[in-house]
């Protein structure tokens, strides 16, 4: 028995989401989707959890604040210089530095985090990808056993797929 | 006129709710009435028994606070029109307008300050000739009185059109990009602009002039930003309280609506701390005695410094830390608690801004000031009853809500 | 599908892609002539700068006590221009504003090039530019670190953070769009876009992380944009110089920055929409809303002017009063009144809904705003320095040719970079426009109803 890929395309995300719900209920194979826009409907249908990238951003923010505290306090104590009669530990200015570094590292972590988690830069294009899926079509690629293919195809067609194709993997 | 709007208007006409007088409203009126009586008695006793100074101090602080809440909430409603907010149908608008009758009460109470002028304004007993052109009693009462009167009148004109059928239809035409009706487009920006102008004047005259040497250009902005935030938190508090009392299908049970209230409380709390910091760092860095003494008295001087820290915790730190997560914003219990603490924080902040200028060495808070504050709470609540009934009607009317939430 | 797009009020996803990608096709001679003209001016300005580096700051008009003048004015002006981009891309994103989708990419691009332009001026203003790295947290030979209590150091942190974060935010938004361009392009452009798209395919996994990260980046960029111009304002407000030391400076500068920035967005978008043929994506509705932001911030700026004047009078400090008297009625008084006219009076026209959608009138008004805001910075920065504590030190200032040419060069640099961008990368976000396509359709219909009426 061999695994095959079934690629279907939909004209709107509601149909696509419906197909995914049916597919999950039928418990056949695994699948992924391509879409031109981030669709809440599809996300809900797949039942994705919230992206962990928020924790990465939080880590970045915290490390930014810590870096800020370290360089401001550290350099002040390295050479205790009275400047303008201000206290050695001048919190109001230090808060500004910490804030800027929090945003800087939070943003950089977030950016790198989203690249890492979503697997880009990627040299290879995932099987089933088609330029139309970036333009105006929503695509679902199902990988399943050959004998279940007919069932998957009928789920797709019943949900309103415009096109359903088989491809060997 | 788009077809969406016409449809919404027809729908509106069909389901327009009948006015109902709730049982809760009657009870609330009775309790509030009792509170007013208690406050008035405490105030009268204090005046007779030589506690006039502390009585007038409490009067001023409460006047500033409750006027700020009432006006801030009306401005929130105006701001919703200006930003074309449709995330909660007409309910957020009704909520913002609910406390408005207090504006007239506050307007009349403001003139009461005339009788306490020598105890409130240090420049009455110790005149400052250089500033006499601005700091004199007739001019002060004329300009602030006119300001408060004009903004109260404008707010009522705004509320009248906002409760009209056209505006209501517009608020529930959720998938429409048309601007609000003409009359709203006149009154809503006017109320917002007047708010900035009048509350800047109020802050300069009723807070800054109590320390007549001190000045800060940002103070007016800072003051009305706090008032606006207190209006928003009062709205969020009412929303969380009503949620459990209006049956299963009221608007406030919708988590995305709660989320939106939470976001606003969070965002404008951060804006408040931004203005606070912007003001603080300039004065701290410049280190000019004429500017710093105001801060030193409140932040470094006992017994005031713990209170200043408490303001910071209640207005900024708690909302910031607690409401950072989506889950807490959607939780009515948590959002309600944070909002209630925030309102206490703004009250305390008004107290810390006003009182040290008049009584630096001791906190005059005691039974007298407490009971007078209770009286103001009563006056505020009794004013809010009809408005809150309207909120309840709107929240249970089942009207459509914008689908752009989340 | 060759229907004339101008009358199409029901654009599909495909129509959006087609309109945006058409802009990215190879450009004609006029375009290259314009870009060449811009960069020629930049070259001339670079020559003047080289001359200044070689001979020292004496070739400028900077003399005691006016040691901050046009260069710093330009710095503040360009940082200010940058702010509208982040406002539109991040703050309005958090507010779920529907009209931002069509304009945000152009505004955000403006942010990046404006910060890049602004960042040059502190360097140009340095007598010994090769020591610029002294602003970074880097010890000198004797292990003395920069003083973190100095506002100039905050500025180095704020502006470089701003440039980095805006660039990352901008890149994130571009990735799905470039993947689209990759599919449509041929030849070397295909390679170019394939590399830039980094293998984006729009899978559910990618979108899931992307949406969350985009929201968080917007959440970070929002306080950042407030902080950056606040820090710039504190370069002045920290000093006890009359005319500079004012608590309102931070929020007032932020409002002024958004005011000038959104005005600049309008100034650029109105001709661009014609030249690039994207009238069907940028509707009257978009300009109406942009104009409202200009009006709002104009009112805020007016509020600040009035408060400052009042407080100077109320506080009664004779030195401060003299400085302000000179500002209003001194030799440079005309600049103050030009700025009041441009920033406070002319924008009041935008209260009229008809003027807000009259693109010619709107264009002229925003040009005035840009002029007014440049003068505002000059009046505050250089003007406050001319008349200060010691009347014996009062002096005037006259810009030299070097300063003027470098200023002209900075405008050319900005416009040149922006023009290059507009033909090589998608100037309108296709992804976000598709997400909000219902609103675009409504806006187009509304425009047509109005045009018919």
| CB contacts, 8 Å: A51 with chain C | 208-209, 211-213
The mean pLDDT value for B34-61 works out to 93
Give the count of Cβ contacts less than 8 A between chain A and C: 187
Nearest to C316 among B130, B197, B200 (CB): B130
Asked if A95's CB is within 8 angstroms of B285's CB, the reply is: no
pLDDT at site B9: 58
Q: Which residue of C has its CA nearest to A64?
A: C161
pLDDT at residue B278 in the model: 95
Q: What is residue C270's predicted lDDT score, i.e. its pLDDT?
A: 93
Please name every residue paired with C66 in a beta bridge, in sequence order, or none if there are none.
C63
Q: Could you say which of C97, C234, C247 has the minimum Cβ distance to residue B283?
A: C247
Give yes or no for residue B16 having a pLDDT over 60: no
Separation in Å, CA of A96 to nearest CA in chain C: 7
**What are the tens digits of pLDDT across the range C1-16?**
344 445 577 888 888 8
Q: What is the mean pLDDT of chain B?
A: 89
In 3D space, the residue among C345, C427, C412, C417 whose CA is nearest the CA of residue C178 turns out to be C427
CB atoms within 10 A of CB A44: 12
Give whole-number Cα distances, B106 to A156, B102, C262, C373, C450, in Å: 66, 6, 39, 40, 45
Please state, for a pLDDT cut of 70, what percent of chain C lies above it.
98
Stretch among B171-185, C57-71, C136-150, C220-234 having the lowest mean pLDDT? C136-150
Cross-chain residue pair C247–B217, CB shorter than 8 Å: yes
Query: Over the stretch C318-338, which tens digit does the pLDDT of each residue have?
Result: 899 999 999 999 889 999 999
Interchain contact A92–B (C-beta under 8 A): yes
Decide: helix, strand or coil at residue C248: coil
What is the ipTM, given to two decimal places? 0.92
Asked if B403 reaches chain C (Cβ–Cβ under 8 Å), the answer is no
Q: Which two tokens stand for residue A160?
A: 């309103």
Residues of chain B with C-beta less than 8 angstroms from the C-beta of C97 = 83
Position B8 scores a pLDDT of 58
Q: Give the pLDDT score at B217.
A: 94
**Whether A92 and B287 lie within 8 Å, measured CB to CB:** no
For C224, name the nearest residue in chain B, comparing CA atoms only: B274
Of all residues in chain B, the percent with pLDDT exceeding 90 is 68
Q: C243 to chain B: nearest residue by CA? A: B217
Q: Are C170 and C427 in contact (CB under 8 A)?
A: no
B370 touches chain A (CB under 8 A): no
**Model pLDDT, residue B86:** 85
| Residue A1 to chain C, least CA–CA distance (Å) | 28
Helix axes B101-112, B367-396, angle to 10 degrees: 160
Kindly report the CA angle at B204 between B203 and B208, in degrees rounded to 5? Answer: 95
pLDDT recorded at residue B339: 96
Gap between the Cα atoms of C180 and A132, Å rounded: 9
Q: Under an 8 A CB cutoff, do B277 and A95 touch?
A: yes
- Give yes or no for residue C248 having a pLDDT over 70: yes
pLDDT in tens, C34-74: 999 999 999 999 999 999 999 999 999 888 888 899 999 99
Task: Report the residue of B256, B274, B276, B281 to disrupt the A interface, i.e. the one with the largest count of A CBs within 10 Å.
Answer: B281
**How far is the CA of C88 from the CAs of B220, C96, C103, in angstroms?**
27, 11, 8
- Residue holding tokens 């945000």? C104
Question: Would you say C158 and A102 are in contact if contact means Cβ atoms under 8 Å apart?
Answer: no
* Cα C372 to Cα C359: distance, rounded to the nearest angstrom: 20
The Cα-based distances of B277 to B109, C136, C231 in angstroms read: 32, 25, 12
Which of residues B282 and A82 earns the better pLDDT score? B282
Are residues B224 and B196 in contact, defined by beta-carbon separation less than 8 angstroms?
A: yes
Global confidence as pTM:
0.92
Residue C30 contacts by C-beta under 8 Å, 6 or more apart in sequence? none
Task: Check pLDDT > 90 for residue C245.
Answer: yes
- The residue behind tokens 């003083």 is C147
Write the pLDDT tens digit of every residue in A20-46.
888 888 777 788 888 888 888 888 888
Phi, psi of C12 (to 5 degrees): -100, 175
* Torsion (CA) C86, C88, C89, C92 in degrees, nearest 10: 120
Cβ contact A36–C13 (<8 Å): yes
Which one of A40, A86, A92 has the shortest CB-CB distance to B280?
A92
Lowest pLDDT segment from B7-11, B52-56, B343-347: B7-11
Optimal mutation site among B217, B269, B294, interface C, most CBs of chain C within 10 A:
B217
CB contact under 8 A, C164 and A104: yes
Chains with 3+ CB–CB pairs under 8 A to C are A, B
Q: How far is B289 from chain A (nearest CA, A)?
A: 14
The reply to whether residue C247 touches residue B175, judged by beta carbons under 8 angstroms, is: no
Q: Is the pLDDT of residue B187 over 80?
A: yes
Q: Is C238 on the interface with B (CB under 8 A)?
A: yes
Task: Map out the domains of chain C with their CATH numbers.
Answer: 13-452 (1.20.1630.10)
CB pairs under 8 A between A and B: 11
Q: Is C316 left (phi over 0), alpha (psi -120 to 50) or beta?
A: left
Report yes or no: B130 at the A interface, CB cutoff 8 Å.
no
DSSP assignment string, C189-234: HHHHHHHHHTT---BHHHHHHHHHHHHHHHHHHHHHHHHHHHHHHH
- Average pLDDT for residues B144-170, to the nearest whole number? 93
């Amino acid at each position: 028995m061999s695994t095959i890929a079934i690629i279907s395309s939909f004209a709107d995300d509601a149909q696509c989401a419906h197909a995914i719900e049916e597919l999950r209920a039928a418990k056949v194979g695994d699948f992924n989707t391509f879409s031109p826009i981030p669709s809440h409907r599809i996300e809900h249908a797949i039942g994705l959890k919230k992206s962990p990238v928020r924790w990465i951003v939080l880590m970045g923010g915290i490390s930014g604040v810590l870096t800020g505290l370290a360089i401001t306090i550290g350099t002040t104590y390295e050479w205790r210089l009275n400047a303008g009669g201000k206290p050695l530990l001048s919190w109001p200015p230090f808060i500004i530095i910490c804030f800027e570094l929090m945003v800087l590292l939070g943003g950089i972590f977030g950016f790198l985090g989203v690249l890492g988690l979503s697997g880009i830069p990627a040299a290879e294009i995932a099987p089933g990808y088609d330029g139309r899926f970036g333009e105006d079509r929503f695509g679902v690629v199902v990988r399943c056993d050959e004998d279940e293919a007919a069932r998957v195809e009928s789920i797709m067609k019943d949900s309103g797929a415009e096109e359903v194709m088989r491809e060997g993997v | 006129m788009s077809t969406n709007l016409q449809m919404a208007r027809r729908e509106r006409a069909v389901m327009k709710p009948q006015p109902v007088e709730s049982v809760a409203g009657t009870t609330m009126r009775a309790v509030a009435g009792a509170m007013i009586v208690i406050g008035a008695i405490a105030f009268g006793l204090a005046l007779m028994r030589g506690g006039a100074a502390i009585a007038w101090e409490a009067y001023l602080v409460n006047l500033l606070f409750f006027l700020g809440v009432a006006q801030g909430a009306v401005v929130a409603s105006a701001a919703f029109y200006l930003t074309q907010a449709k995330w909660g149908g007409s309910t957020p608008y009704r909520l913002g307008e609910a406390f408005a009758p207090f504006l007239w009460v506050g307007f009349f109470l403001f003139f009461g300050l005339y009788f306490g002028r020598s105890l409130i304004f240090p420049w009455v007993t110790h005149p400052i000739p250089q500033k006499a052109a601005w700091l004199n009693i007739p001019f002060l009462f004329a300009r602030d009185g006119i300001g408060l009167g004009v903004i109260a009148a404008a707010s009522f004109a705004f509320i009248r059109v906002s409760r009209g059928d056209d505006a209501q239809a517009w608020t529930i035409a959720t998938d429409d990009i048309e601007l609000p009706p003409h009359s709203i487009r006149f009154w809503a920006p006017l109320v917002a602009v007047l708010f900035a102008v009048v509350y800047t004047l109020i802050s300069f005259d009723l807070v800054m002039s109590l320390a007549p040497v001190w000045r800060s250009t940002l103070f007016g902005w800072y003051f009305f930003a706090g008032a606006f935030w207190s209006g928003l938190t009062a709205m969020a508090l009412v929303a969380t309280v009503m949620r459990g009392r209006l049956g299963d299908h009221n608007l406030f049970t919708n988590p995305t609506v709660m989320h939106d209230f939470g976001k606003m409380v969070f965002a404008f709390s951060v804006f408040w701390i931004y203005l606070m910091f912007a003001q603080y760092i300039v004065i701290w860095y410049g280190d000019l005695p004429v500017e710093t003494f105001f801060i030193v008295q409140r932040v470094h001087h006992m017994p005031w410094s713990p209170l200043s820290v408490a303001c910071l915790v209640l207005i900024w730190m708690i909302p910031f830390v607690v409401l950072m997560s989506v889950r807490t914003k959607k939780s009515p219990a948590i959002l309600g608690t944070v909002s209630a603490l925030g309102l206490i924080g703004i009250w305390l902040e008004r107290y810390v801004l006003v009182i040290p200028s008049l009584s630096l060495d001791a906190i005059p808070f005691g039974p007298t000031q407490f009971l007078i504050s209770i009286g103001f709470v009563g006056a505020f609540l009794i004013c809010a009853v009809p408005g809150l009934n309207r909120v309840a009607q709107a929240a249970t009317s089942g009207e459509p809500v914008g689908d752009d939430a989340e | 599908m060759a229907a004339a797009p101008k009358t199409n009020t029901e654009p599909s996803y495909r129509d959006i892609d087609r309109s945006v990608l058409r802009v990215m096709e190879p450009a004609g001679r006029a375009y290259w002539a314009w870009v060449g003209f811009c960069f020629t001016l930049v070259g001339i300005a670079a020559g003047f700068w080289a001359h200044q580096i070689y001979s020292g700051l004496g070739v400028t008009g900077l003399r005691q006590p006016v040691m901050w003048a046009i260069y710093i004015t330009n710095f503040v002006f360009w940082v200010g221009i940058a702010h509208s981009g982040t406002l539109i891309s991040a703050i309005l994103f958090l507010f779920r504003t529907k009209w931002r989708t069509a304009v945000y990419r152009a505004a955000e691009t403006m942010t990046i090039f404006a910060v890049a332009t602004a960042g040059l001026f502190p360097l140009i203003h340095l007598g010994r530019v090769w020591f610029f790295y002294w602003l970074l947290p880097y010890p000198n030979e004797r292990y003395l670190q920069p003083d973190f209590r100095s506002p100039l150091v905050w500025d180095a942190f704020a502006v470089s953070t701003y440039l980095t974060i805006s660039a990352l935010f901008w890149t994130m938004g571009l990735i799905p769009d470039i993947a689209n361009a990759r599919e449509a392009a041929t030849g070397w452009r295909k390679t170019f876009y394939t590399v830039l798209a980094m293998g984006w395919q729009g899978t559910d996994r990618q979108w899931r992380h992307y949406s969350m990260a985009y929201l968080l980046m917007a959440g970070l960029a929002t306080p950042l944009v407030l902080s950056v111009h606040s820090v710039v304002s504190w370069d002045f407000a920290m000093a006890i110089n009359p005319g500079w030391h004012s608590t309102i400076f931070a929020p007032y500068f932020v409002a002024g920055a958004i005011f000038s920035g959104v005005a600049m967005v309008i100034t650029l978008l109105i001709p661009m929409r014609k030249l690039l043929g994207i009238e069907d994506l940028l509707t009257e509705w978009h300009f109406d809303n942009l104009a409202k932001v200009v009006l709002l911030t104009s009112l805020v700026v007016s509020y600040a002017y009035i408060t400052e004047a009042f407080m100077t009078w109320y506080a009664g400090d004779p030195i401060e009063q003299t400085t302000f008297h000179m500002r209003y009625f001194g030799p440079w008084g005309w600049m103050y009144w030009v700025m009041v006219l441009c920033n406070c009076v002319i924008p009041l026209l935008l209260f009229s809904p008809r003027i807000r959608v009259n693109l010619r009138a709107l264009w002229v008004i925003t040009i005035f705003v840009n002029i007014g805001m440049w003068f505002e910075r000059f009046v505050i920065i250089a003007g406050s320095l001319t008349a200060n504590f010691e009347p014996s030190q009062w002096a005037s200032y006259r810009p030299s040719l070097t300063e003027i040419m470098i200023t002209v060069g900075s405008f050319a640099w900005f416009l040149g970079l922006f023009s290059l961008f507009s033909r090589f990368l998608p100037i309108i976000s296709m992804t976000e426009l598709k997400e909000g396509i219902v609103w675009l359709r409504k806006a187009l219909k509304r425009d047509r109803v109005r045009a018919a009426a």
